[in-house]
């Protein structure tokens, strides 16, 4: 029998006391009124989006910049260079936990100091202002209008955030940029970085070196040296069992742990997740390894653009390859064993039900981090992301209970609260939106801004009309039309981040 987890193991035990419990979703059983399928996977459908959109106002401003640059280029018969502004540092905001304090979201960023020491017991007075100045203030940030419900009273997490996954609006937050150990929620960044690099049908034979360097007490899916696994198998091990062994094998395929860590840190910076510093790709406790509720939510939002990511994080149970053996007749056989998702809002447990509309994303639990979790759920057409880090209450499944309470609040409060911040777009999205030929409707999972628009390579200002006059008026007309198209298209495409069939799963 393969030991998937050691009950009560220290440091990186994703399932805690539940590792010995049987599956709650046997084959053939379908969930009722929970939005889930019998096999626990979401439907694969053609994607309709490629990158996380920039907020509407930023898009309109960039449209104006694009139009101005276009006019200049048309007049001078030479293209003008276009570039999106990079985040600029902003002063640390005054500490305020007032639930009614005013403050508009801002994308200005102030990168925190290097994580050279362990997180403090209390949040810093001034944290990163990425996504808005209020998100950098300690304490609870919420702006409740008339008719909006009050926040749940029994929240004990050191940090949490509730955000609209599509618009990017942050409905409420508590110490959103507090840099804390992330545990295995860091695997969301690992998956978002590495998952596109290998086709799921790729087969890899595990060498002893692939499993070297795993920390004591690591959560494991049960990978064996000398056995072969598909990339699909390995990702199921990462998402369902939070297997550090699967992470290390994929890292070995990707050039090694050090190279993978470098790529993850680079990708975090691209996503503007400036609170994050990766040391170990599996989220195992390590000196200076930190992230924040805000950054983890960015990782989930970026990962959920990928169809494979959505499939894996919403899978409840799966069959995993076992060990190759010879039977009594000398014939070589290799069976499978069932693995179950350790996300209890997805799989359910004896003291907590499967959350209606849940579709992932990732949980974690280590000695330093405590319990951490990021979840995504849909209700009545609204898709919310909630991240909860390290509840002080040690009740069983407390991190899931507080997440469920915040999801309930978010669905009731949507449209009744003023956003206190926003989930910022990746840098490449901001740059792509500044390109006049960018196509915002490129295919899903490409990671690119889109193909070039139907724009002539010849300067319009160089054209000559029949009466001999220059083409300046034509240039102005084209630029004016471009402004209308970009502004309108920016609102319709970039303001919303549609997630078709993410959690609208067959009953």
HEC profile for 156-205? Answer: CEEEEEEEECCCCEEEEEECCCCCECCHHHHHHHHHHHHHHHCCCCCEEE
d(CA 176, CA 139): 9
Six-digit token string for 372: 């951490």
**Among residues 159, 184, 251, 291, which one is catalytic?**
184
Q: How far is CA 317 from CA 12, 41, 111, 232, 320, in A?
A: 21, 9, 40, 14, 10
> Is residue 23 among the annotated active site residues?
no
Compute CA 33 distance to the chain's CA centroid, rounded to the nearest angstrom: 26
d(CA 112, CA 400): 29
**Residues 5 and 13: beta-carbon distance below 8 Å:** yes
Task: Write the CB contacts of 271 (distance below 8 Å, at least 6 apart in sequence).
Answer: 295, 298, 299, 302, 426, 427
Six-digit token string for 425: 């777009």
**Residues 320 and 233: beta-carbon distance below 8 Å:** yes
The residues facing 318 across adjacent strands are 339
CA proximity to 80, closest of 358, 435, 428: 435
d(CA 202, CA 195): 12
Q: How far is CA 320 from CA 17, 224, 284, 458, in A?
A: 22, 12, 23, 57
d(CA 223, CA 124): 41
> Is residue 128 among the annotated active site residues?
no
Task: Write the CB contacts of 178 (distance below 8 Å, at least 6 apart in sequence).
Answer: 119, 123, 124, 127, 138, 158, 159, 292, 293, 389
**Residues 364 and 242: beta-carbon distance below 8 Å:** yes
**Among residues 242, 292, 314, 347, which one is catalytic?**
242
> Is residue 92 among the annotated active site residues?
no
**Residues 106 and 90: beta-carbon distance below 8 Å:** yes
d(CA 334, CA 402): 41
d(CA 226, CA 499): 40
Six-digit token string for 468: 């001999």
**Among residues 19, 128, 159, 187, which one is catalytic?**
187
**Residues 343 and 375: beta-carbon distance below 8 Å:** yes
Which residues belong to the active site? 184, 187, 242
């Amino acid at each position: 029998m393969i030991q998937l987890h050691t009950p009560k193991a220290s440091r990186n035990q994703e399932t805690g006391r539940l590792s010995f419990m049987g599956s709650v979703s046997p084959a053939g059983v379908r969930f009722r009124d929970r939005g889930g399928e019998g096999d626990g996977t979401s439907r694969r459908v053609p994607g309709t989006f490629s990158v996380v959109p920039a907020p509407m106002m930023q898009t309109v401003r960039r449209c104006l910049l694009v139009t101005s640059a276009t006019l200049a280029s048309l007049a001078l018969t030479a293209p003008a260079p276009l570039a999106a502004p990079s985040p600029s540092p902003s002063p640390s905001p005054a500490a305020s936990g007032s639930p009614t304090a005013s403050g508009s979201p801002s994308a200005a960023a102030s990168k925190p100091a290097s994580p050279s020491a362990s997180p403090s017991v209390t949040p810093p007075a001034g944290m990163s202002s990425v996504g808005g100045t209020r998100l950098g203030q300690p304490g609870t940030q919420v702006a409740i209008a008339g008719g909006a419900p009050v926040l749940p009273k029994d929240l004990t997490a050191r940090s949490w955030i509730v955000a609209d996954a599509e618009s990017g609006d942050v409905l409420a937050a508590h110490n959103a940029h507090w840099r804390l150990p992330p545990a295995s929620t860091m695997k969301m960044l690992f998956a978002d970085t590495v998952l596109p690099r290998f086709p799921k049908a790729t087969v890899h034979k595990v060498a002893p070196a692939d499993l070297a360097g795993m920390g004591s007490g690591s959560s494991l899916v049960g990978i064996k040296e000398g056995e072969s696994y598909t990339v699909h198998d390995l990702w199921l091990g990462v998402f369902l069992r939070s297997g550090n062994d699967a992470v290390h094998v994929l890292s070995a395929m990707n050039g090694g742990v050090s190279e993978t860590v470098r790529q993850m840190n680079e990708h975090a910076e691209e996503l503007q997740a400036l609170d994050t510093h990766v040391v170990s790709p599996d989220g195992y406790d390590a000196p200076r390894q930190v992230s924040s509720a805000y950054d983890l939510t960015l990782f989930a939002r970026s990962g959920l653009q990928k169809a494979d990511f959505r499939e894996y994080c919403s899978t409840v149970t799966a069959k995993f390859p076992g060990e190759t053996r010879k039977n009594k007749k000398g014939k070589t056989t290799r069976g499978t064993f069932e693995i179950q998702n350790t996300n209890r809002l997805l799989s359910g447990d004896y003291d907590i039900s499967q959350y209606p509309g849940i579709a992932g994303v990732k949980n974690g639990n280590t000695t330093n981090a405590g319990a951490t979790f990021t979840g995504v759920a849909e209700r009545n057409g609204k898709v919310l992301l909630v991240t909860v880090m390290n509840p002080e209450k040690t009740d069983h499944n407390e991190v899931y209970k507080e997440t469920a309470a915040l999801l309930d609040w978010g669905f009731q409060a949507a449209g009744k609260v003023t956003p206190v911040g926003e989930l910022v777009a990746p840098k490449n999205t901001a740059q792509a939106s500044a390109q006049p030929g960018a196509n915002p409707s490129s295919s899903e999972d490409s990671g690119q801004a889109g193909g070039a628009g139907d724009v002539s390579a010849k300067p319009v200002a160089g054209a000559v009309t029949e009466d001999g006059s220059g083409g300046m008026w034509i240039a102005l007309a084209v630029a004016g039309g471009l402004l209308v198209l970009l502004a309108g298209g920016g609102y319709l495409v970039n303001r919303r981040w549609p997630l078709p069939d993410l959690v609208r799963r067959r009953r």
